[in-house]
Amino acid sequence: MSRNSVTVLLFVVIVVVWGLTWFAIHLQLGTVPMEVSILWRFTLAAVVLWGALAATGRLRRARLADHRWFFVLGVTLFSANFIFMYSATWFVASGVVSVVFTMATVFNALNQWLFLRRQPSLRTLAGAGLGLGGIALLFAHDIAGAGLGGTTVIGIGLALGGTYLFSLGNLASLRATAAGLDLPNAVARGMTWGAVLLAAVVLARGERFTIDLSPVYLASLVYLAVPGSVIGFLAYLSLVSRVGADKAAYATVLFPVLALAVSTAFEGYGWTPEAFVGLALVLAGNVVVFARLPTRRPAAA
């Protein structure tokens, strides 16, 4: 399989797998404290990934010094960002949260400017403006009804915070594998750190390590842990290593369409004219950033 074919395959896997995770997250909300649900998700994901690496003989040793980057992965990709995202789905529909998540493309470009000194182009700035305007329109009806102190604004803030942490994790994944350790081994350690951090949060909050044994909860947990975490993150971070964090985040442009369709069918998300325009602007902003412009060929002599 050619390099381009692998890139396309990774892109499709991310869009489908992560497009369905948002509703699965919604199904997790209920009797089990949010932090505990996320803990079970990444504990199971880490166990599956460690087991797969051991069974296939791909388990590798890591330097102790590299654990600082595995720790950062644990914070930004496998714990704190999900606390923000799960919290956001308490206030707004999960499909709408997925649209806010498309701002990862803009945050990745910004963070590459801040940390890698890669200055964003005018196209990136224009795309960011379209994206922010689209998000404002997407939530305009809810904000107008609830006011600036309403729960919708809280949901937007939480979703943006989780998205920014995710963006930082994209860059951390590049550093975590810079010493030569392959991506699956780095992710396994990052997920383990994430589970440890989540357990510390649960203990600090005085929560109990409970679990819901209903078929819906367990099915959503398995989906979030294996396809949503092990497969989804390995595919996405592989894409980051292939095409860069800014272009890999373009995958976040398409899965909100699938996520919003699920929210419309199962969560009763109500569309307004402003919401349609807002979604179009968010998607257009990302297209402006990443679409390839045709190059002008010199005229033949």
Give the pLDDT confidence score for residue 112 in this predicted structure: 81
Q: What is the pLDDT of residue 261?
A: 76
**φ, ψ dihedrals at 31, nearest 5°:** -75, -25
| Global confidence as pTM | 0.79
Q: What is the pLDDT of residue 288?
A: 77
Domain boundaries, the chain: 3-290
Determine the pLDDT at residue 11.
84
The pLDDT of 56-68, averaged and rounded, is 93
Note the pLDDT tens digit of each residue in 70-126. 999 999 999 999 999 888 888 887 667 777 887 887 788 788 888 877 776 777 677
Q: Are the C-beta atoms of residues 152 and 142 closer than 8 Å to each other?
A: yes
| Residues 256 and 98: beta-carbon distance below 8 Å | yes
**Letter string b/e over residues 137-156, b meaning 16 or more CB atoms within 10 A of that residue's CB:** bbbbbbeeeeeeeeebbbbb
User: What is d(CA 91, CA 150) in angstroms, rounded to the nearest whole number?
Assistant: 9
Measured CA to CA, the distance from residue 173 to residue 184 in angstroms comes to: 11
Spatial distance between the Cα atoms of 40 and 36, rounded to a whole number of angstroms: 6
CA angle 202/207/212 to nearest 5° reads 100
151, pLDDT greater than 60: yes
Q: What is the pLDDT of residue 207?
A: 92
> To the nearest 5 percent, what fractions of the chain are helix, strand and coil?
75, 0, 25
pLDDT of residue 287: 74
Q: What is the pLDDT of residues 190-199, one digit of tens each?
A: 999 999 999 9
Round to whole Å and give the CA distance between 89 and 38.
14
Instruction: Give the mean model confidence (pLDDT) for residues 258-270.
Output: 73
pLDDT in tens, 36-53: 999 999 999 999 999 999
- Dihedral class, residue 117 (left if φ above 0, else alpha if ψ from -120 to 50, else beta): left
- pLDDT for 168 beyond 70: yes
